[in-house]
Structure 1
Amino acid sequence: MKTLIASVIALVPALMLVQPAAATVQPKPAAAKKAAPAAKASTAKKTTTAKKPAAAKGAVAAAAGAGAATAVAASALSPEALSLADRVHTGRIGCELGQHVNVTKDGNNPGYFHVDGNGFKYHMSPVATSTGVVRLEDKQAGAVWLQIANKSMLMNQKQGQRLADECMSSEQTQVAEAIKRNPPPSLLENPAAGK
């Protein structure tokens, strides 16, 4: 039973990662048939009862269904999320250390974005924040794109690392230059203390 659960847990993220990228392509039954024998083979080695292979078929079907549900959810964003999508800077955005991030709108799913660069590719949607920061997330991959007035950053929360930092679109570069010319007052300074 542990092997069955482990197989399903390993299969679900793989299907979730593949499904958003192929959201416009109709799922092929052959892919599900290929996945089912692999799941059966991994569980059949240690099982001897007829009930567990049948459970593996159901688990594979449930995992495939979860991927299909992701494709349906990709087209349904709230009006608030759609308004946040209008604030996302798109194009090739330069980052520190010579890196870059490409942020492009998903033409098939309004409000969604493809975010890719050197060694990563995500399908992200806007998430509301209490601070007004523009935040895009790929929940399956654990990736987060944060955009403030003068810079952006890409993180992978599952891996616990920053993938790109100090990223600036042309609009963000202008804000950063304005901050350098006219720095805001320090939050640590207390004008009343000098009186």
Structure 2
Amino acid sequence: MLKMTAFWVISLLTLSAWAQAPASPSKATSSKAVQSKPAQANANANAKQNAVKTGPKPKTQRPTPLAPETPMGPDELAIADRVHQGHLPCELGASVRMEADDSQPGYFYLHGKGFRYRMHPVATTTGAIRLEDRKAGAVWLQLANKSMLMDQNKGRRLADECANAEQVAFAEDMKTTPPPSLIDTTGMGR
């Protein structure tokens, strides 16, 4: 009976130790454990020297494109000529800044509090000016009376009611002489 109990105790201890062992290879079989301590210290010193030599990459002021973009066609360049640039105040005290990319005509940098996008014009059927940063999912829509920045990935507006002096004047004119209704309620449109 004593032999049987001892057998079960040893079996349970073996199973317990086996269940607690890590799933990765043991340190005794890894190549680092086989190295002597001086060799490990030497490898660590070399790694530190390499890290010091390369160091962190300096941050650039403007993002650079990963791949060269295709040049803009005449339609996109015509849209780019109509984009309002400079400082644009928005609703709730927010503001954005639209700047042309000097290195590549037709591209723009749009930045504000907490975001910066590199945008390019996209032709629309409505006549609205649309700029996109497809990588980030950002869309800038410029209408006659206001502009807005939308995040397509999250489905929300990041900035709204952004306008330069020309757009503000157009919005004021719309208040005094509103455009005709899209739905004719007078019965004259038959």
TM-score (norm 1): 0.62
Q: Gaps (5+ residues) in structure 2?
A: 1-59
User: How does 1:152-167 map onto structure 2 within 5 Å?
Assistant: 152-167=147-162
Q: Output the CA distance in 2 between the equivalents of 1:187 and 1:132.
A: 17
Partner of 1:15: none
Distance 1:189 1:97 in 2: 35
Distance, in Å, in 2 between the alignment partners of 1:192 and 1:139 is 44
Q: 2:64 aligns with which of 5, 13, 22?
A: 22
Q: 1:177 and 1:160 mapped to 2: Cα distance?
A: 29
Counterpart of 1:187 (choices 175, 182, 186) is: 182
Report the 3-state secondary structure (helix = DSSP H, G, I; strand = E; otherwise coil) of the residue aligned with 2:187: helix
Measured after TM superposition, the shift of residue 76 of structure 1 is 1.1
Among 169, 177, 181, the residue aligned to 2:172: 177
SS at match of 1:132: coil
Whole-angstrom distance in 2 between the partners of 1:148 and 1:173:
11
Q: Distance in 2 between matches of 1:119 and 1:140?
A: 17
Match of 2:51 in 1: none
Gaps of 5+ in 1: 1-17, 24-66
Matched residue, 1:50? none
Deviation at 1:160, TM superposition (A): 1.8
Shift of 1:131: 0.6
Partner of 2:78: 83
1:144 aligns with 2:139: yes
SS at match of 1:135: strand
Q: How does 1:116-155 map to 2 (within 5 A)?
A: 116-155=111-150
Alignment partner of 1:98 is 2:93: yes
Larger RCO (alpha carbons 8 Å, 6+ apart): 1
How many angstroms apart in 2 are the aligned matches of 1:105 and 1:158?
25
Larger radius of gyration: 2
CA–CA distance in 2 between the matches of 1:104 and 1:123?
Answer: 10
1:62-95 deviation per Cα after TM superposition (whole angstroms, max 9, x unaligned): xxxxx3x2xx11x511111011000100111011
Q: How far 1:186 moved relative to its partner?
A: 2.4
Structure 2 residue identity aligned to 1:190: T
Q: How does 1:108-123 map to 2 (within 5 A)?
A: 108-123=103-118
* 2:63 counterpart letter in structure 1: A
Q: CA RMSD, aligned part only?
A: 1.9
CA distance in 1, matches of 2:151, 2:144: 21
Q: If each structure's helix is expressed as a fraction of its own residues, which one has the higher value?
A: 1
CA distance in 2, matches of 1:21, 1:177: 37
What is the CA distance between 1:161 and its match in structure 2?
A: 1.5
